[in-house]
Amino acid sequence: MSESREEVRERIEQMREKVRERRVKSGLPPESPDMEFVDGALARVLFESEIKPFIPVVTKYIASTIKAGRIFPVDTSFFEGSERTFAILKYSESDFYSGSIRGVIDIMKKNNSRLESGEDHDFQDIKKRLFNCGRFLKIFQKEGHIFYNILEEDGKTHDAKVKRFREDESLLNSEIQKVIEHYNSIEHLLEEMHKEEELKYENN
C-alpha cells in the first residue's frame, strides 16, 4: 500500500528532525547555512568587471592543450588577486559560468605543478575535464546571458540594482564587505557542509 501525501510529508519531516538533532549533537546550529547568500545583481557586476576578461585566456588554453595532446607550462599571474571574487561568486545564485572558469584555472595551476615536480598524470583525464569546462563556457556564451535563476517578474528590480552598483562604487564596496563579513561568520559551517558532501560522494 502506497503512502499518502500526508504520510510522506510526515516521514520527510522526521528525517529532517533527525538531521537537526545530529547537527546539534555535533555542536552545529540545527539548520544548515544558506549556500546562496550573495545577491544576484552584486554577483553579476563582480563577474562582468573582474572575471569575464579571463574567458579568452581560459578558452585559448583549453583549445591549445587539447590540440597539443600534452600539458605545457603557462603563466597564471594574470589571475592573481581574483581569489576573493571567485570565493564570493561560489555562493551566488548562479555560479555556473564563474565555476567553469575557476575550474580551468585550477587545472592550469595543477598542470604547472605537475610539470615542475615531474608528477605522473593522466592526460586523457585532464583533457576530459578541460573539454567539459569548455563545453559549459560555449553554452553560456551562446545563450548570451549568465544568470538564469532570475524570475521574469524580478528582472526590472535586478537590472536597477545592477545599475546602482555600477554607478556607486562606495555602495558596491559596502555590499562586498557585508558578504565577506557574513562569509567569515559562517566559514566553519560551510566547511562542515563541504565535508558532509565529500563523504556522501565517497559513499556513493
Start-to-end C-alpha separation, the chain: 29
Domain ranges for the chain: 33-203
Share of the chain above pLDDT 70, in %: 69
Give the pLDDT of residue 188.
Answer: 74
Please state the rounded mean pLDDT for residues 35-61: 88
The residue with cell 528582472 is 155
pLDDT at 195: 63
C-alpha cell of residue 83:
581569489
Contact between 44 and 95 (Cβ < 8 Å): no
Mean pLDDT of the chain: 80
| pLDDT (mean) for 43-66 | 92
Q: Which residue has the higher pLDDT, 63 or 3?
A: 63
Query: How many CB atoms are closer than 10 A to CB 146?
Result: 20
Residue 97 has pLDDT above 90, yes or no: no
Per-residue pLDDT tens digits for 108-124: 999 999 999 999 999 99
Section 173-199 average pLDDT: 77
8 A C-beta contact, residue 97 and residue 162: no
137 contact partners, CB below 8 Å, separation of at least 6: 55, 58, 59, 97, 100, 101
pLDDT at 87 over 90: no
Report the alpha-carbon distance of residue 95 to residue 48 in Å, rounded.
Answer: 13
Task: Enter the C-alpha cell of residue 5.
Answer: 501525501
Average pLDDT over residues 9-34: 64
Residue with the three cell numbers 556564451 = 141
Residue 94 confidence (pLDDT): 61
As a dihedral over the C-alpha atoms of residue 49, residue 153, residue 96, residue 194, rounded to 10 degrees, the angle is 110
> Torsions phi, psi of 146, nearest 5?
-115, -45
Give 121-175 pLDDT, tens digit per residue. 999 999 999 999 998 888 777 655 555 444 444 667 878 888 999 999 999 999 9
Under a CB-based contact definition with an 8 Å cutoff, are residues 119 and 113 in contact? yes
Query: From CA 101, how far away is CA 57, in angstroms rounded?
Result: 10
Report the alpha-carbon distance of residue 150 to residue 155 in Å, rounded: 7
Residue 201: predicted pLDDT: 44
Higher pLDDT, residue 19 or 39:
39
Q: Which among 148, 61, 155 is positioned nearest to 96, based on CA atoms?
A: 148
Flag whether pLDDT at 59 surpasses 60: yes
Determine the pLDDT at residue 187.
79
- Rounded distance between C-alpha atoms, residue 67 and residue 79, angstroms: 23
